[in-house]
Amino acid sequence: MLSRPRSTTARSTVARTTRGFATLLLAAAVAVSGSVSAFAQNVPIVRDAEIEALVRDYARPIFKAAGLANDGIDIVLVNDPSFNAFVTGRRMFINTGALMTAETPNEIIGVMAHEAGHIAGGHQQKLRDQLERAKTMAIIATLLGAGAMVAGATTNSRGLAGAGMGVAAGGGEMAQRSILAYQRTEETTADRSAISYLNATGQSGMGMLKTFSRFQNALSLSGTQVDPYRISHPMPQERIANLEALVKQSPYVDKLDPPALQQRHDMMRIKIAAYMQGQAAASRLMRKNPGSLASRYGEAQLAYLYGNLNAALVKTSALIKEQPKNPYFQELRGDILMKANKPKDAADAYAKAVSLDPARSGLLPVSLGQALMAIGTPDALKKAVVQINNGLGRDKENAVGYRYLAQAYGELGNIPAADLATAEGHFYSGDYRNAKIFAMRAQQKMKRGEPGWLRAQDIINYGPSGKTK
């Protein structure tokens, strides 16, 4: 079902064909209105409960040490092979390329510590405030646009300005360029802050040093494209030398990541390789540690992805036996059973995943809801509505989830609720025109002043410069 795009331009068809979808759901910006550039329509967001939880676990202690809000950090994974990471306030944008490049958690944690240093230092605060108000899709278009512009890959800055919405108001190109504009003094401050956060959490700065040294030595980690991160964070030789001195002074310089965290990191890298790059890329990583849990997880995923469902099920059952409390093994089991057209068994597996998930991902209840929809009885459909609403309550920007919700309501004959769910889906995809059309349709069949009617009114009232809620 789930295709694994080779390019970074995940098409909307990918998201549309994900009934019985797998762990990695490509929630591409579907049905973006004509006012948004073609570029934004291909905004490649990757949704995955396991990876989001891991990256949040990396960020949490660092953000706490930095005195930043340590709850409710939204992790936005961007399917792009270049290296980039950027934090607005509530949202951390991180490229799959950055996660794939990092061999240890410490390398990513070091980059996060540096980003936290920029936030704590108030660097580019005005831009961050603007981005914080913008929709996720628009920000990614802007961030990717910035990288693309630097690389000279596209000069469609007018289109990108449109994609930037409020961010880009009154000079999109300027807003994009200013993303690239950390000052050298700011880099020094952020490095120093990063070391203090790493020390406070008992972690080494070696990963950060390794990552930044690599940027300093190589023009690009990802081939032809210049990594946006390297452009936005100037890395002269002197900065690396100063950083190295600071890192080596730390009492934690030789501290390694806990083995369990390293294992989750290895699983994440193999997963990204398997789903996004295919068998060869995943096998390359698995060969480094054959027989490890991460490699066997990779084998189960590849079996699933390439349609060897019996083998996938056997391998996944063995993994579950080894880690019975791992929610993502249950999730994979659910994905396999959905593909095998066994929605009842799949629903059981997803229900286990939901109950085991300490990170309370909004994605897992939506998967459970889909399995219930596939069962198709009125009772299962009603349960599906509950589960999908539960998932969307945890994660209201999941545009794909609204489409399943609309479908479930539609099959139950609740047309106004289906229209409102469709409106929400368009709204969170940034397609305000269609969002309003469906919100008005929903209102016509609703009682004035009831909760659904009020939410529809919020969507109708939403203006390009306005705010909702």
**Residue ranges in contact with Zn ion by CB under 5 A:** 182, 187, 190, 233
Which of 182, 427 has the CB closer to Zn ion?
182
Min separation Cβ 146 and Zn ion, Å: 14
Q: Do the beta carbons of residue 197 and residue 116 sit within 8 Å?
A: yes
Min separation Cβ 119 and Zn ion, Å: 11
Min separation Cβ 41 and Zn ion, Å: 30
Min separation Cβ 233 and Zn ion, Å: 3
Min separation Cβ 184 and Zn ion, Å: 10
Which of 198, 372 has the CB closer to Zn ion?
198
Min separation Cβ 218 and Zn ion, Å: 18
Which of 233, 296 has the CB closer to Zn ion?
233
Which of 184, 433 has the CB closer to Zn ion?
184
Neighbour count for residue 450 (Cβ, 10 Å): 12
| 3-class DSSP string for the chain | CCCCCCCCCCCHHHHHCCCCCCCCEECCCCCCCCCCCHHHHCCCEEECHHHHHHHHHHHHHHHHHCCCCCCCCEEEEECCCCCCEEECCCEEEEEHHHHHHCCCHHHHHHHHHHHHHHHHCCCCHHHHHHHHHCCHHHHHHHHHHHHHHHHCCCCCHHHHHHHHHHHHCCCHHHHHHHHCCCCHHHHHHHHHHHHHHHHHCCCCCHHHHHHHHHHHHCCCCCCCCCCHHHHHCCCCHHHHHHHHHHHHHCCCCCCCCCHHHHHHHHHHHHHHHHHHHCHHHHHHHHHCCCCCHHHHHHHHHHHHHCCCHHHHHHHHHHHHHHCCCCHHHHHHHHHHHHHCCCHHHHHHHHHHHHHHCCCCCCHHHHHHHHHHHHHCCHHHHHHHHHHHHHHHHHCCCCHHHHHHHHHHHHHCCCHHHHHHHHHHHHHHCCCHHHHHHHHHHHHHCCCCCCHHHHHHHHHHHCCCCCCCC
Which of 48, 187 has the CB closer to Zn ion?
187
Q: Which residue is nearest to Zn ion (CB)?
A: 233
Min separation Cβ 82 and Zn ion, Å: 16
Which of 233, 403 has the CB closer to Zn ion?
233
Which of 133, 192 has the CB closer to Zn ion?
192
Which of 124, 295 has the CB closer to Zn ion?
124
Min separation Cβ 114 and Zn ion, Å: 5
Min separation Cβ 118 and Zn ion, Å: 6
Which of 230, 315 has the CB closer to Zn ion?
230
